[in-house]
Amino acid sequence: MSRQTYRTELEIIADVLRVIMECGINGEYITNIVRNANLSHSIALGKCQKLIKGGLVAVSKSEKSQVFVITENGIKFYRELINFKDLTRNIKEGKPTNF
């Protein structure tokens, strides 16, 4: 029996970005990303590493841990992602869209 996924890669990335963005300029610890995005520690860390490589998230060191902060490009990407998600939902529901 195969595992059924309930979130796509893009949805997971959006959740991670949302959690980091909601923290503002202070950034977020991986523990809170894990909890609020409902991910395992290893998966959350892997997604954060992808986002860092893509320039959407930056990392800084605190006393004992890493703090993940969304970049300006990350904010723009997240907003466009939400707009795209809303557009696809409207198309699915047969609602008028503004291209």
The domains located in the chain, with CATH, are: 9-93 (1.10.10.10)
Gap between the Cα atoms of 62 and 98, Å rounded: 44
Task: Tell me the pTM.
Answer: 0.85
In this predicted structure, the answer to whether residue 99 has a pLDDT above a threshold of 80 is no
- pLDDT of 44-69, one tens digit each? 999 999 999 999 999 998 777 899 99
DSSP states along 35-99: HHHT--HHHHHHHHHHHHHTTSEEEEE-SSSEEEEE-HHHHHHHHHHHHHHHHHHHHHHT-----
